[in-house]
Amino acid sequence: MPARRDSSNPRTPGSARALRITASTVPGTAAVLRLEGKIDQEERLRLENALDSALTVGSPRLVVDLSGLEFCDSTGLNALLRTRLDAQAAHIELLIVAPRPQTRRLLDVTGTTEIFAIRPSLRAALDGSAG
């Protein structure tokens, strides 16, 4: 069973769910970050810290699961782009999993779908298949 760590913020009344970050590892395979809720400027530091920590786990692959992400703005995109560069420098494969329509549109409009390795499911990312 993968080890898990949860870093959540309480829900703010009247807004989309606050960012919830769950970190886990699949020994010898991947560090996995599951992002749920929303990413915006208020969550920037928590997101960047979680991504940085995931790169230091020592896994050959970092999987960022966006299947539970309801909203992502340029803050989240910039964090993923920076993490992509950091992962490349550390010889770690970065995989993005199952972005929802709003996030997928952000990736499409910015042309970043071409530079990120995107997988349709967590299973596909962990198996190493293109899906």
Spatial CA neighbour of 31 closest among 77, 62, 58? 62
Domain boundaries, the chain: 17-127
- Per-chain mean pLDDT for the chain: 90
User: For residue 89, how many other CB atoms are within 10 A of its CB?
Assistant: 9
Residue 11 has pLDDT above 50, yes or no: no
Spatial CA neighbour of 48 closest among 37, 64, 61? 64
Spatial CA neighbour of 71 closest among 10, 18, 27, 110? 18
Distance CA 121, CA 24 (A): 16
Distance CA 69, CA 57 (A): 23
Looking at the domain 17-127, which fold is it?
Transcription Regulator spoIIAA (3.30.750)
- The reported pTM is 0.86
Identify the band that residue 128 occupies on the pLDDT scale cut at 50, 70 and 90. confident
